[in-house]
Amino acid sequence: MKLDQTLRTELATMVADEGLELLATEVVGAGPKAVLRLIVDGPDGVNLDHCASVSRQASAMLDVEDPIGHHYTLEVSSPGLDRKFYQQDDYDRFVGQRVAIRMVPTYREHRGVVGELLGRRNDTVRIFDDSGQEILLPIDEIFEARLDVDWTKIMKEGKSRP
């Protein structure tokens, strides 16, 4: 289930008034266990206060609009360290960072590619993979792209703090 465009625009405007960007709205699950997820980001990231403020305002707006018609849970979150790419501009925004890309099942050349994002050229995403090759991936054949986070390194850094 998707929210209608008018409601998504109203939510995006409300989030923008908080100095943030609404990256995505997702409705996950069905019936009373459904979750309406708003994924927000900002120039300096997102903190708990941001999420709480957006949640309060969105809750009031959604109570009036009643887009789902039954009980659901509202969740407001940041995109996380291993953020998913929601827009094609993300392929330009995160040039130079490691990414993990999964292709649609019907794409036969690669199932998934991990490496440094070189950017986008027309309808193709360029990756420098771990074997040292430049891989060209058709953007409409990409199922999901995410930043590839080295969790082992992060955990080691966290343990070495005083």
Interval 3-21: pLDDT, tens: 778 888 899 999 999 999 9
Same fold, 5-77 and 90-152: no
Task: Give the tens place of pLDDT for each residue, 55-89.
Answer: 999 999 888 877 667 788 899 999 988 899 998 88
pTM to 2 decimal places? 0.77
In the chain, where the domains are located: 5-77, 90-152
For residue 116, pLDDT over 90 is answered with yes
Nearest to 137 by CA among 116, 106, 105, 112: 112
State which fold the 90-152 domain adopts. Answer: SH3 type barrels. (2.30.30)
Alpha helices in 22-132 (DSSP H): 48-65, 90-93
Report the CATH number of the 5-77 domain: 3.30.300.70
